Structure 1
Amino acid sequence: MGMMQEFKTFAVKGNVVDMAVGIIIGAAFGKIVTSLVSGVIMPPIGLLLGGVDFSDLQVVLKEAVGETPAVVISYGAFIQTLVDFTIIAFAIFMMVKGINSLKKKEEAKPASPPKPTAEEVLLTEIRDLLKSK
């Protein structure tokens, strides 16, 4: 099999396509959560804390001099990123938990036992006869 055929077989496999779709949806979901956190969740939290805008929280290590920008540690952006991560992690946890509960329900359904073959029936009869003697 040529290299192009092997690549085509690999690229078209369900797992690769599913993974690509998951990555694309995950990236979009991350943008949604970032927007939710920065536009909806953090403003009320900042208001409760006295009107603090978390994106502006920073420690200035060295003031700006002329054309040289200031050297700062932007810990507010870090706090916002932590909140983003926590929300995304919780949402993924809930999704995985839901999927696992669906899998458990599928596993809990008892499958009908397979019908014994003629050979198994014959062996069972022989076993029962030997037990009775």
Structure 2
Amino acid sequence: MRSNSDRRIKTLELWAAKMRRNVVDICMQRGGYAGQGVALSDVGACIYFDEMRPDGKGWFHDRFVNSNGHDTIINFAAMAELGIYTMEELRTMGADGSHIDQSPIEGARGFEITSGSLGTGVSQAAGIALGERKKGSDK
């Protein structure tokens, strides 16, 4: 009999495989940072499908801060599986007139910070956490 841990790992491996397919699909359209997305699929699966808490409104109670904008394709790949973005939308990433940038800006669905400047995520995450603590939140 498989333990819950074995089932959990198998489920996360399946999510990671779906995310890798999403990354390749997105990058086949207009290019992009496929290497980062494929390499981070296991990490992204663990974060999005095992650690982050949904808030019941189709969004997350927790926040994911990624200061390296070149890695955010993994966020998009996960959010496609969660129904936050469609693959049709994501295939337009980086195209003229698309609302989806390769390095997302604050306000894009699923992103609370502008990413791209390496190393800014720690200070941004600390600021978000301090603000939430001041409000008495457990986010």
Give 1 or 2 for the bigger CA radius of gyration: 1
Same fold (TM over 0.5): no
Q: TM-score, normalised by structure 2?
A: 0.28
Higher relative contact order (CA 8 A, sep 6+): 2
Q: Which has the higher helix share?
A: 1
